A and B are shown apart, each in its own frame.
Chain A
Amino acid sequence: MGVNETLANVSSDFMIAALLIYSLAVLAFAGDFAFGRPRRAAVAVKQQTRIAELASVGAGPAAGSAVSGGVPADGPRTTAPPPANVLPSRQASLSRAINDAGNWVRVAVALSVLGVTSHLIAVVTRGFAVHRAPWGNMYEFVTALTCVAGIFFVYVMLRYRAWSLGVFVMGAIVITLGLAETVIYTAAGPVVPALQSYWLSIHVTAMTLSTGIFFIAFVLGILYLTTDVYRARVAAGKAEPGNGLLERIPSAAQLDKLTYRTIIFGFPVWTFGVIAGAIWADEAWGHYWSWDPVETWAFITWVLYAAYLHARATGGWRGRRAHYIQIIGFASLAFNILVVQVFITGMHSYAGLG
């Protein structure tokens, strides 16, 4: 089966468009940081005072929401917009929340959604152009995993109103996708016989999905560590509080929880991907596990994320240390994709480079 060149071109165009739109979204998120937030922080402070008043008066106004099922289960978080560094709860309607967040966020969210849509179209049309799952080589893998990361992040952002993370996560996506386009671009084409299997779709899909999800956790982890270290320094009087930047980023506890939720979403998917890979290896090479370098590194990654999950349940290992572990876990994942698959010869004929 040949390549449908028209569709392949459509795919390339949408990919470039996605990259441009993402870049604009990052600019808009950054604009919110630079110009948009002080107003919101002020609003939040005003509302905090209102909460205090309400609390002393009693909880009259909250009663109405109880009937509609939204029992304010945990205090001020449900009755009024929270201070800027608390991820607002979900009870307030999404459109209200976006409206409240100001023009910059409105534009940034719209651009993010547009970018992700364009990205998704690019990935899907590539699949139709080559008549197979569009993750048959390294370039395609990276474009697909960033697409997953984009979709997952847009979901997280909308669910937890986490606009303030946009500049970091979307920024990381732009850099990764930009590098993919410039450094490892591979034209649409068929794959070698070893990859002609429906296990390609199953195994690599799971790997792509979980990599995209772990990517988000990785960015959150970096954010956690930098802000946690910085907050500690500020608390110790060793650093300037800055111009309110830190107040706009979710608290360490919330970043921590968000990271954890992200990883426990990714971990079973990764586990499934490794199992599917083992089944495929059995079909293709005659043994389900042969410690091929790529397999070995997938195993190392899995063990590291398991260690992260354990660390969170081990005294003295929560917080920063646990984040170090998951960041090392993602580093091992990236090492597998960027170094092992490209430079170490094994049985995986995947990279499609060189």
Chain B
Amino acid sequence: MTDVHAPASVNPGAPPQTPPEGGGSATPDSPRRPSGVPQQKNLPLWRWAWRQITSMRTALVLLFLLALGAIPGSIIPQTGNDPAQVQQYFISHPALAPWLSRFGLFDVYGSPWFAAIYLLLFISLVGCVVPRTFRLVGQSRTPPPKAPRFLGRLPHSATYVSPLPPQEAVAAAASVLGGHHFRLRTNVSTGTTPSSPPGKKADAGDKTFWLSAEKGYLREAGNLLFHLSLLGILICVAVGGLFGYKADKLLVEGQSYADTPSALDDFYPGRLATGSDLAPFDITLNNFTATYITSGQNAGQPAAYNANVTYTATSGGAAKTDDLQVNHPLNVDGVKVYLIGHGFAPVFSVTDAQGKVVYDQATPFIPADTSTMLSDGVVKAPNAAPEQLGFMGVFVPTAVEGSGGTLNSAFPAAENPAVSLIGYSGNLGMDSGLPQSVYQMDTTAMTKVAAQPHLMFPGQTWKLPNGLGSITFVGYKQWVSLTATYDPGQGPALAFAALALLGILVSFVVRRRRVFVRAVAADGNRGSILTVGGLARTDASGGFEEEFARLAAELAGTEPTNQSETGA
């Protein structure tokens, strides 16, 4: 019946195949203008600049700059992530640090130059994507171009013989391709498919009939969806930064806090958020447990953290309890509360020279080494008389003697807790008006009460020399640090990210391709010879070769009797 020829044997002189696949080396409607000098002499400067900004080359350069610009922020400490380390950097690099600071290198991702890169990139993106969107809409309304004259020169082609006269053979091919949802254009009137404008009918006179079919507009749509979604993500990030907030609070077991700016340790509102935007909940820490692996190679590695809390959403509401864990935040009033850190808070009671209790509370110590939970902190008793008292201390949950008689911790859980204190008396300098951290002590106006640090176990009391008073290590509690965050841009950002992913998958999977058919009458006026040509304008994931082969076989196999079937 039909005979399918390999095109190279039909047309040995065909040029070498350079499949226009992949990155779309032959996508004439991609905005790939030559950059460089203005093409038209009279092009206004701003038009020329706009062209430059929206060119693919610029986008490429800006992408590079974005990658390059992100690097310093991963090497130099950032104020947003670790302000303490930034301070440390200023101390250890006094000459360099101010310069880095001048260029925003301690806050790269909030710096003007980084913003300039991504804003330019997104301006370029808009300038590139919006016209492409209009062009795609236009294309989806216009039929594909006329079939080229020499189909054998296309990257894929095949020839077959049909028993039908040319006009009917092309109509049959049209119904096959139409059945595969190709957009069609032909100079044969098929009734169901749009024919060429009347002027083109002249072609019929030279007895060749042709058909152009195109499919895969979704590929460009997917690409556009991807780029537009990136824009959406950027906007959502900006919204979150402006209207969201982050609030930190350290809570010792038994303590509670209400979510108001004054009760918080740190409050980082977005530029357009204020304290009155805080959600009105309050939280009490009932207890905290950390469990560790006790034996084997991984001994001391944390196994689980659990903070049992009671909270009330919207003041006056019913109290609920929850187990707050890492990876398991608490959702309350549209705010998420996270367990960020934990530590020990030894309980001290201090009596002054006159026998008055001037300090009696749990004092959060900060872990210096999270693997052993060796922690340090200070106890300040400004009400002690006649002299103010202060202590610098180290807390170890599992005391062992280290080399040289130093106090060390062998395990992160409190199996043998102990503190070692250095006592001071004098003036704590707390009424100088300057704010002081509760974790630091200014000893410039103080003198040590004893030369050696004093080691204590729970329940023990240290009677200070010279009748200055005493301090009792009552026991210990644990603390947790909680972070509450609110980010209105987060949900939409996720939605846009999902759309971007969808867009890119569509653009990689769908190929934009055209199939052409031309028919001439066979010798002897019985039947016709048809040439099929195929061209994948984009074929990222490959497979057009196979698809073309299938289509060609289907076209070749079309018989008058099964036309309607294959066309369905």
Q: Whole-angstrom distance from the CB of B151 to the nearest CB of chain A?
A: 13
Q: Is B276 an interface residue (CB 8 A)?
A: no
A307, B501: Cβ atoms closer than 8 Å: no
Please list the 8 inter-chain residue pairs (A to B) with the smallest Cβ-Cβ separation, ordered nearest first. A312-B23, A75-B8, A66-B4, A293-B74, A71-B549, A197-B327, A286-B338, A296-B74
Q: Mark A271-285, 1 if CB is under 8 A from B, else 0.
A: 110010011101111
Q: Find out whether the CB atom of B6 lies under 8 angstroms from the CB atom of A303.
A: no
- Roughly how many angstroms separate A83 CA and B158 CA in the complex, as a whole number? 23
B67 touches A304 (CB 8 A): yes
Q: Is the CB–CB distance between B23 and A260 below 8 Å?
A: yes
Query: Does any Cβ of B come within 8 Å of A257's Cβ?
Result: yes
Asked whether any CB of chain A lies closer than 8 Å to the CB of B179, the reply is no
Interface stretch, picked from B360-368, B415-423, B458-466, B540-548, is: B540-548
The answer to whether A314 has its CB under 8 Å from any CB of chain B is yes
Which residues of the partner chain B approach A197 to less than 8 Å between Cβ atoms? 327
User: Residues 48-66 of chain B: 1 if any A CB is under 8 Å from the residue's CB, otherwise 0?
Assistant: 0000000011011001101
Are B490 and A74 closer than 8 Å at their CB atoms? no
Given contacts A73-B549, A74-B17, A197-B327, contact A54 B67 (CB under 8 A): no
C-alpha gap A306/B301 in the complex (Å):
39
Would you call B34 an interface residue if the criterion is a C-beta within 8 Å of the partner chain's C-beta atoms? Answer: yes
| Contact among B9, B158, B305, B329 for A71, CB-based, below 8 A | B158
- Distance of A79 Cα from B237 Cα, bound (Å): 56
Q: Does B322 belong to the interface (CB within 8 Å)? A: no
B282 vs chain A, min Cβ distance (A)? 19
Q: Give the interface size class of chain B.
A: 35 or more
Given A62-B5, A69-B549, A261-B542, are A284 and B327 neighbors across the interface (CB < 8 Å)? yes
Q: Is the C-beta of B155 less than 8 angstroms from some C-beta in chain A?
A: yes
Q: Is there contact, CB below 8 Å, between B340 and A286?
A: yes
Could you list some 17 contacts between A and B, CB below 8 A? A69-B549, A71-B548, A73-B158, A75-B6, A75-B9, A75-B17, A193-B303, A193-B325, A194-B326, A257-B542, A261-B542, A271-B504, A286-B336, A288-B487, A289-B237, A291-B80, A316-B57
A54 proximity list for chain B (CB < 8 A)? 9
**B-chain residues with CB within 8 Å of residue A178 when the two chains form the complex:** none
Are B298 and A190 within 8 A (Cβ)?
yes
Q: Are A76 and B6 in contact (CB under 8 A)?
A: yes
* A199 vs B348: C-alpha distance when bound (angstroms): 42
Q: Check if A58 is an interface residue, CB within 8 A of chain B.
A: yes
- Supply 5 further A-B pairs (C-beta < 8 A) apart from A282-B336, A288-B490: A260-B23, A286-B340, A286-B483, A287-B485, A289-B237
Instruction: Say yes or no: A303-B67 contact (C-beta < 8 A), given A73-B549, A196-B327, A199-B327.
Output: yes
Q: Once the chains are docked, how many angstroms separate the CA of A27 from the CA of B482? A: 57
Kindly identify which residue among A193, A299, A315, A318 contacts B326, using a CB–CB cutoff of 8 Å: A193
- Label chain B's interface by main secondary structure: mixed
Please tell me if the beta carbons of B4 and A62 are within 8 angstroms of each other in the complex: yes
Q: Given the complex of chains A and B, what is the CA–CA distance between A264 and B63 in angstroms?
A: 18
Do B8 and A261 touch (CB < 8 A)?
A: no
Bound complex: CA of A70 vs CA of B4, how far in Å? 10
Contact: B497 with A275, CB < 8 Å? yes
- Indicate if the CB atoms of A314 and B504 lie closer than 8 Å: no
CA distance A133 to B549 in the complex (A): 43
Instruction: Tell me which residues from 291 to 327 in chain A have a Cβ below 8 Å from any Cβ of chain B.
Output: 291-293, 296-297, 299-300, 303-304, 306-307, 309-318, 322
Q: Which residues of B contact A312 (CB under 8 A)?
A: 22-24
Whether a CB of chain B sits under 8 angstroms from the CB of A59 is yes
Chain A positions within 8 Å of B500 at CB level: 271
Q: Which residues on the A side are within 8 Å of B71 (C-beta)?
A: 296, 300
- The reply to whether B487 and A313 form a contact with Cβ atoms under 8 Å apart is no
Q: Does A340 contact B (CB under 8 A)?
A: yes
Q: Bound state CA distance, A293 and B57, in angstroms?
A: 28
| Any B CB within 8 A of the CB of A55 | yes
- Identify the closest chain B residue to A69 (Cβ): B553
On whether the beta carbons of B78 and A190 are closer than 8 Å, the reply is: no
Q: How far is the CA of A304 from the CA of B65 in the complex (A)?
A: 10
**B157 contact set on A, CB distance < 8 A:** 73
